[in-house]
Amino acid sequence: MSRSDLPWLTFDCYDTLVRYSEGKAAALAGLVRGKGGDTAAVDRAQATFEARERSIQSGSFMILVDVLKESLRDALDAASLPYSPEDDEIILDAVRAAAPFPDVTAAIRDLRSDHRLAILSNSQPDIISHNIASIGIEFDAVVLAAEAKCYKPDPGMFQALLARIQAAPVDVTHIAQSFYHDMRTAKDLGFGRRIWVNRYGREGDPAYTPDAELRDLTGVRAALS
């Protein structure tokens, strides 16, 4: 069978394949403490950053770099701490350096042997290129918010993916960590299978029960059989 005939597996990247939230949170905590903030200030900054990032992404489109910069300014303001332009690069560097989870590279290499693989990510090319390089495996397609001009969970992201890979939703298995960003929309659009990689032990949504729930990627092969 030629590669063009293999079935598609599509993956979220951030917090599914690489440690996006962990790296970003560590960088933000370091910034806050470096400016004299205490634990309460760190908590305020983290909560504000997460809320603003999600809120901005649900509004008029702006690229991820600008989303992160605006979220950072608001987070520091919530912690009553000063912002400087150099702070932006600390957060951006943390996102670029987000490392793969230990199970990822081996699992992706195995799955690539008999599937085509795509990434669907709320990112932009000059950031996610670093993340993909850290995984060390070539993907057959990478579809980003920067080209779709919207962010997951907007259906437009998933429609851009399907258009790129030229596949019907029912023929695609989508694999992701986030219920909010991925699992619901994939079901609403009729994806054939949805595998929830519940790395953080979170509660799901009974109305959107996935076809499989795993703690990491090591169980994907068995879930596909």
Domain ranges of the chain: 3-19+98-224, 20-96
The CATH number fitting domain 20-96, selected from 1.10.150, 1.20.120, 3.40.50, 1.10.8: 1.10.150
Class in CATH terms, 3-19+98-224: alpha beta
113-130 average pLDDT score: 98
**For position 143, what pLDDT does the model report?**
99
* Domains 3-19+98-224 and 20-96 belong to one CATH topology: no
**For position 156, what pLDDT does the model report?**
98
41-66 average pLDDT score: 98
11-29 average pLDDT score: 98
How do residues 91-102 score in pLDDT, each as one tens digit?
A: 999 999 999 999
Q: pTM, whole model, 2 decimals?
A: 0.95
How do residues 139-166 score in pLDDT, each as one tens digit?
A: 999 999 999 999 999 999 999 999 999 9
The two three-digit tokens of residue 131, written as one number? 């993340």
SS3 of the chain: the string is: CCHHHCCEEEECCECCCECHHHHHHHHHHHHHHHCCCCHHHHHHHHHHHHHHHHHHHCCCCCCHHHHHHHHHHHHHHHCCCCCCCHHHHHHHHHHHCCCECCCHHHHHHHHHCCCEEEEEECCCHHHHHHHHHHHCCCCCEEEEHHHHCCCCCCHHHHHHHHHHHCCCHHHEEEEECCHHHHHHHHHHCCCCEEEEECCCCCCCCHHHCCCEEECCHHHHHHHHC
pLDDT score of 1 more than 90: no
Angle of CA points 7, 212, 154, to nearest 5°: 70
